[in-house]
Structure 1
Amino acid sequence: MKVKVSDCIAEFLKRHGIRHVFGIVGAGNAHIFDSITRLGFTEIVCVHHEQAATMAMQSYYRVSGKVTAAILTTGGGSVNGITGVVGAWMDSMPGLVISGNENSRHTRSENPLRV
């Protein structure tokens, strides 16, 4: 039986009682958002920028005392979230940052589009 990693992520969030996640959908994380939506336990709060997602993650903890997650897309999306991650780290606030990735078939060196 095949299991999608994104389904495991959604189950992990549920198992740990994470009711809200912050993020922006991109090609690298669309499967994660789909799995979270299908499971129906965790609410997705869409933001306009990855930095907003990680800052919302730390603000959520500051207000509620509950750990949440920021879901970022690959490449520049992950880099954009760093400011909020560093802010959370500096203030000793826990949070989970999940970044998607491109399918490996798109990144192989023998792929003629990547030559």
Structure 2
Amino acid sequence: MPSVSTHIALTLAAHVDHVFGVMGNGNAYLLDALARHTDTGYTAVRHEAGAVVAADAHFRASNRIAAATTTYGAGFTNALTALAESVQAHVPLIMLVGDEPTPARARGTSTRSRSPPPSAPAPTPWAAPTRLPPSSSHSSTPSRTACPSCWRSRTTSPPSTPGRSRPSPGLVFPNRSPRR
């Protein structure tokens, strides 16, 4: 029994001769069906916007409709600017965006349900930076900061200004200079 992806691939092959895209888990079955059941060409590109631009250019150069395909979520979002350009230029193309695979939803590991239930407290791994105790001087003693992402201590030396003492910055952010 043919799958939904096979039916879509066969219908698509009746109207286009080439597909441009970035393979992801949302469109993998479609691209597999295109390769196995049709003679439609496929060109892999490095970015989702490049898939739409390539389909746009294919039409402008050959006057034949092409398709672009990306995966769901950020893959589709990355293609929107190029898709808007094609719409403004009245270039016909087909944009296929896959959805999250069904087995992931059945297992309960869906990417759509990443937020905790309303009764649970929200986790905060990116909480406010660690407040350091005030120090009297920024001489040659390095200050210590805690990295919230890996919970390791890092040693940083603040910039020194000759002849000028500054109060402690209080909050210390890794890879940032203290505020004056």
Same fold (TM over 0.5): yes
Residues 13, 38 of structure 2: 8 Å contact kept: no
Q: Which residue of 1 aligns with 2:88?
A: 90
Q: CA-to-partner distance for each residue in 1:25-54, whole Å, 9 max, x for gaps? A: 111110011000001310110000000000
Aligned residues: 112
SS of residue in 2 equivalent to 1:107 = helix
Q: Which residue of 1 aligns with 2:9?
A: 10
Q: Structure 1 pair 83/66, CA: closer, same or farther in 2 (3 Å)?
A: same
Greater RCO, 1 or 2 (C-alpha within 8 Å, sep 6+): 1
Aligned mate of 1:21, from 10, 13, 19: 19
Q: Structure 2 length normalisation: TM-score?
A: 0.58
Residues 9, 38 of structure 2: 8 Å contact kept: no
Q: Does 1:80 align with 2:59?
A: no
Distance in 2 separating the partners of 1:13 and 1:112: 31
Question: Which 4+ runs in 1 deviate beyond 3 A?
Answer: 112-115
Structure 1 gaps, min length 5 = none
SS of residue in 2 equivalent to 1:81 = helix
Higher helix residue share = 1
Aligned mate of 2:42, from 41, 44, 47: 44
Distance in 1 separating the partners of 2:55 and 2:33: 20
Larger Rg: 2
Q: Does 1:63 align with 2:61?
A: yes
